[in-house]
Amino acid sequence: MRLSTLLAAAGIDAATSSDPEITRIDYDSRSCEPGSLFVAVRGFHADGHDFAAGAVERGAVAVVAGHGMAQVRAALVVVPDTRVALSALAAAWHGFPSRDMCVAGITGTDGKTTTATMLWAAWAASGLAAGSLTTVDWRSRGTVTANKSRQTTLEAPELQEHLARLRADGVTHAAVETSSHALELHRADHVAYRAGVYTRITSEHLELHGSREAYLRAKARLLELVGPRPDGVAVLDPEDDFAYPLLSRIPVASRLTYTTSPDAPADVRAERLDQGPRGLRVAAATPWGRAEFSLRLAGRFNAANALAALTAACATGAGLDGAVRGLEGLERVDGRMERVEAGQPFTVVIDYAHTAEALHQALTELRPATSGRLWVVFGSAGERDVAKRPAMGAVAARLADVSVITDEDPRLEDRLRILEDIAAGATEAGGRRGEDVVVVPDRSEAIDFAVAHAAEGDTVLLAGKGHESTLISGATAQPWDERAVAEDAIRRRLAGA
Ligand SMILES: Nc1ncnc2c1ncn2[C@@H]1O[C@H](COP(=O)(O)OP(=O)(O)OP(=O)(O)O)[C@@H](O)[C@H]1O
Ligand SMILES: [Mg+2]
């Protein structure tokens, strides 16, 4: 495609010095090839503009940059925001795949992956050709591929490529987990979302007023993308005191609310939630009729995720019966409240909880089923939200009997500093260092420690890694399998006993 054709399709109105033939779009100079269009974006560790010359050396014939660069020997396109341009160019390159499908974006603090997977299941069981893109996997109709990228919402070129692949597979309905990070970085700006689905937005881990507002604004962007459509749908939790007041003011063609509180007014409302023999039983009133179903996924919070998914499915073409069948059929979402059974006389659960709210939910869920002590092994990722560290420590100290604080992807940060930040929150909340709050930096050793000391009737929650297949320390990602590590620890414990 000629550069001028691509720019026009992307709606980028900028002068260029020449009009070369473009063969691919790259934002990493190392992947540039002859014919590449290199888009310079500012990243967390480096600025793409510094690598423009290198990109051209590797064959890039055009460079999109935020400012003029005299030394670059290629067609130069200067734009106000290179991330927005990257999103537009990627969508145009693939022929705007999202415009040919019904795309629902799922955002919120916790429960995005679960809700997106539930939506996929609800659509699929209703006979629609469904796809999904989440932290855990990419689903195209019946085909499931693990997402090993460690990214929830991919960079715009990969995101658009995935959408193009779904369209080529005949998918008509796609659930796209959309992180606030991606919204803020404009990765999803050129996804033609039909629906914006919100799980609850919690903010206690964001202490600064400024960043709270920024977080909420980023989340609101999804609905602003949906807003102008004549068939746009918003799916909101009216009891989300933090987000609902803002989200409900964004104009959208159809706004539907869901709630798990029996007394709160909402379009889709759980009238009853009971723990049945086959899992959580939900009876809900909906605009499409009454729905009764059991969830095989553990955790009461999944009732809220299920109602959000049900609402989104029925608002976008699924039948209520099919949607309910889809929710009932979903057996698990990898790494979410999964039990590890290796013959031990206590319970071991793996869960992806990695926010204060999720940890709160998971521990509250496990407490009633625990006759002995409740253990939690957890950490907090490096180069991510730092304010949640003490908040997670405090939740653990309050709700668990023993907190074992350990590594969770320290990345290039000082790992011990992260653990101390968490421990400070734990002791502040009444935890006693060396007694019910222990720091064991190596994650395998931390799991070993909890498993070795757990007694009959205890529950050990391994939180924060879930399905993830790597543990990132420094600049290297070592292979990781939380289940295998837990099973090994249990075997050692049983052999020693
Ligand atoms: N509706 C909810 N409210 C609070 N906590 C939840 C909710 N749903 C799930 N959780 C907790 O959050 C964890 C992660 O769930 P899930 O993977 O669905 O969230 P996510 O929003 O996709 O996370 P991420 O931001 O890492 O992609 C679960 O293991 C559970 O502990
Ligand atoms: Mg996710």
Residue 370: domain span: 338-496
Q: How many domains would you assign to the chain?
A: 3
Q: 10 Å Cβ neighbour count for 11?
A: 12
Ranges assigned E (strand) in 352-488: 374-378, 402-405, 437-439, 459-463, 470-473, 476-479
What whole-number distance in Å separates Cα of residue 381 and Cα of residue 409? 5
Question: Strands 137-140 and 143-146: what pairing?
Answer: antiparallel
5 forms bridges with which residues in the sheet? none
CA-CA distance, 206 to 188, in Å (whole number)? 23
Same domain, 279 and 307: yes
Please name the residue ranges forming H helices in 50-208. 52-57, 82-93, 112-125, 156-168, 180-184
Q: For residue 42, give the amino acid letter.
A: R
Is the domain of 318 the same as that of 258? yes
Do 276 and 144 fall into the same domain?
yes
Tokens for 492, please give them: 């050692």
Predicted pLDDT at 206: 53
Cα 133 from chain centroid? 10
- Does residue 87 lie within any of the structural domains? no
CATH code (residue 397): 3.90.190.20
Task: Please give the Cα distance from 339 to 334 (Å, whole number).
Answer: 11
Distance 362 CA to ligand 1 centre (A): 10
Q: How many CB atoms lie within 10 A of CB 203?
A: 18
For ligand 1, residues with CB inside 6 Å are 110-114, 135, 152, 177, 199-200, 301, 304-305, 336, 351-353, 357-358, 361-362
Q: What is the pLDDT of residue 70?
A: 81
| Ligand 2 mean position, distance from CA 194 (Å) | 20
Rounded Cα–Cα distance for residues 219 and 424 (Å): 30
On whether residue 92 sits in a domain, the answer given is no
Report which bound ligand comes closest to the CA of 199: 1
Chain centroid to Cα 395, Å, comes to 21
Based on the domain organization, do 382 and 249 belong to the same domain? no
Q: What is the DSSP string of 213-260?
A: HHHHHHHHHHHHHHTTSTT-EEEE-TT-TTTHHHHTTS--SEEEEEES
3 state SS of 41: coil
Are 380 and 314 in the same domain? no
How far does the centroid of ligand 1 lie from the alpha carbon of residue 352, in Å? 7
In the chain, the N- to C-terminal Cα span, in Å, equals 68
Q: Are 443 and 351 in the same domain? A: yes
Distance from C-alpha of 335 to C-alpha of 112, rounded to nearest angstrom = 14
Nearest to 39 by CA among 2, 81, 8: 81
Closest CA to 163 of 138, 137, 197, 198: 138
- What number of other Cβ atoms are within 10 A of residue 272's Cβ? 10
Pocket perturbation via mutation, ligand 1, pick of 109, 110, 201, 242 by most ligand atoms within 8 A of CB: 110
Amino acid occupying residue 219: K
**What's the whole-model pTM score?**
0.92
Mention every residue, 6+ apart, whose C-beta is less than 8 A from residue 274.
280, 281
What's the pLDDT at 207? 45
Testing ligand 1's pocket by substitution, the residue of 109, 112, 114, 388 carrying the most ligand atoms inside 8 A of its CB is 114
Task: Give the Å distance between the CA of 267 and the centre of ligand 1.
Answer: 23
Residue that terminates a domain, selected from 278, 312, 329: 329
Which portions of the chain are predicted below pLDDT 50? 204-205, 207-209
313 and 368 share a domain?
A: no
Distance 96 CA to ligand 1 centre (A): 30
User: Are 55 and 36 contacting, i.e. CB atoms less than 8 angstroms apart?
Assistant: yes
Strand partners, 77: 64
Give a yes or no: residue 21 inside a domain: yes
| Closest CA relative to residue 280, chosen from 323, 241, 328, 221 | 328
Residues 304 and 401 in one domain: no
CATH number of the domain within which 20 lies:
3.40.1390.10
Give the pLDDT of residue 294.
94
Give start and end residues of each alpha helix (H) in 412-481. Answer: 415-428, 443-453
Q: What is the pLDDT of residue 44?
A: 75
Same-domain status, 116 and 259: yes
Other C-beta atoms lying within 10 Å of the C-beta of residue 229: 15
- HSE, side-chain direction, 13 A CA sphere, residue 10: 30
**Does residue 322 share a domain with residue 342?**
no
Q: Quick check: 175 and 191 in contact, CB under 8 A? A: no
> At 146, which CATH number?
3.40.1190.10
Q: What is the pLDDT of residue 385?
A: 84
DSSP 369: G
Whether residue 365 is found in the same domain as residue 458: yes
**Which has the closest alpha carbon to 97: 12, 158, 182?**
158
pLDDT in tens, 53-81: 999 999 999 999 999 888 888 999 999 99
